Amino acid sequence: MLQSIEARTGAAIGEHWAESTPADISAAVRASSAAADAFATSSAAQRAELLRALAAVLEADREALVALADRESGLDLPRLNGELDLTTFQLRGFADVIERGDAHAFIDDAAVASAPPAGRPHLMRVRVPVGPVAMFSASNFPFAFSVLGGDTASALAAGCPVVVKGHPAHPGLSRCTAALAQKVVAAQDLQPGVFQFVEGDSVDVGVALVQAPAIAAVAFTGSFKGGTALAKIASERPRPIPFYGELGSVNPLVVLPAAIAKNGAELARTLAASICLGAGQFCTSPGVIVVPKDAAGDGFVDAFSKALQATQPHAMLSAGIRATFDRGVAQWRAAPQLKPLVNDVVDATVQAPRPFLAEVSAADFIANHALHEEVFGPAALVVRVASSDEAIDVLKAVGGSLTVTLWGAEAESDATHRLVRAATQIAGRVLFAGVPTGVAVTAAQHHGGPFPASTQPFTTSVGYAALDRFLRPVALQDAPSWLIERKGVPC
């Protein structure tokens, strides 16, 4: 059963309702499959019109949607209004991109009349939509990574129908947003299967959606446990399909001596705010802070601890997310290698958590794999290092991450060369200023990274290159003139 919950109090909102049944899921996928061919051959102008209409309907219903999102998430009106703006920006951005021709981009190699290998037939490389996409909404961004978020926008822009699974942390908002999207699809005179919606709190709903034979790809943002389980199901189908999963990240942030010397106190405050932003419920929240083991480093850690101690995160998105956070912090508290720095114990019945911070040596961190796992929420570990080589060893121990931040790498040296190389080896985005919380939607963005940050590190879930996940290359050899004249538009 599904139930809308007031995030700040835990009180139920309205009546509960049943989750989607296997028959409901099958019907949604069948409708999506029935719409796939026509939608794949739609023009860029048609899809752009759809995306802009979806953006407009979100803005038209802003007041009601944001109020409901605030009740279910506790994220506050300013944050949610900004997130709705980001969502409409994404939708309109993808509309602009496909109107420029990106969805129908092609490569045309003229025939060469000669003997092989120089000689060749006429080859035209085009891209075709993969088909119906199963999209799993995320908990922590009720608009931008949810029903009409980036995954939905990029799949629709590519010409792929979507079957969206709403997140149970904001079920009322998901239902309302899906209903608006379905009205827009109908008003655009498109088949209903272009946008379908299913919902549920049980594992069975997600499994049934991924296993549906007509689903051609999956986009997922969520937990490591849930994501790896669904990825396994996607790979074990009779016809395996791509699973684009963002699973979690500890986002190491390396504080070099130059940064501490220049503005260490300010950076300490900035870092504390980033870790507690949104109660730490950002996939890019810094979770491992690498600091030199010297007097200047001691001063930075002291300032950082005091700044974090002074913050008070708001209530977390759901009771389940809060319980997972509390378990993660309890495991860190029990680790003998850790020295607690910010360690207020709060009763689990209190809605808002307290931040947690502990210090550990580089050697102990590297040796204990459990310390490399994400604790989703306002918590982090300070790892003390004696050299840049030890900092590199810490980055290598982390493995895959969405981001790595290097503060103080402005001066070129052999050490910074090696640090940058180590950062690029494990992360999809490397920052040299600012904090990783906040992901710009632009062509140059890459929001992904080596496992366990994502299952497909060559792809991004944010930015306009996200379109590429749902377009499959096809080479047309000696195609007839009528097909060449379509200039990459599928037939």
Task: Confirm whether 283 is a catalytic residue.
Answer: yes
Give the residue among 373, 387, 377 at the shortest CA–CA distance from 357: 377
Phi, psi of 125 (to 5 degrees): -95, 120
**How much helix, strand and coil, in percent to the nearest 5, is found in the chain?**
45, 20, 35
In the block, residue with structure tokens 């900035």: 270
Task: Confirm whether 246 is a catalytic residue.
Answer: yes
Give the span between the Cα atoms of 11 and 393, in whole angstroms.
Answer: 46
* Active-site hit among 83, 160, 283, 390: 283
Give the pairing type, strands 162-165 and 195-198: parallel
Taking each helix axis from N to C end, the angle separating 77-99 and 62-73, rounded to the nearest 10 degrees, works out to 120
Q: How many CB atoms lie within 10 A of CB 220?
A: 27
SS3 76: coil
Helix (H) or strand (E) holding 291: strand 288-292
Helix (H) or strand (E) holding 419: helix 414-426
Q: How many CB atoms lie within 10 A of CB 318?
A: 21
Long-range contacts of 114-122 (CB under 8 A, 24+ apart): 121/477, 121/478, 122/477, 122/478, 122/479
* Active-site hit among 83, 246, 359, 390: 246
CA 310, 318, 446, 153 torsion-angle sign? negative
Which residues, at least 6 apart from 398, have a Cβ–Cβ distance to it below 8 Å?
A: 250, 252, 288, 372, 426
Say if residues 58 and 81 touch (Cβ distance below 8 Å): no
Instruction: Please give the biggest Cα pair distance in the chain.
Output: 79
Say if residues 473 and 126 touch (Cβ distance below 8 Å): yes
Total length of the chain: 491
Question: Can the peptide bond before residue 192 be classed as cis, meaning omega within 30 degrees of 0?
Answer: no
Q: Which two tokens stand for residue 417?
A: 């060369």
Task: Say which DSSP state 285 is in.
Answer: -
Buried b (16+ CB within 10 A) or exposed e, 368-395: eeebbebbbbbbbbbbbbeebebbbbbb
Active-site residue list: 246, 283
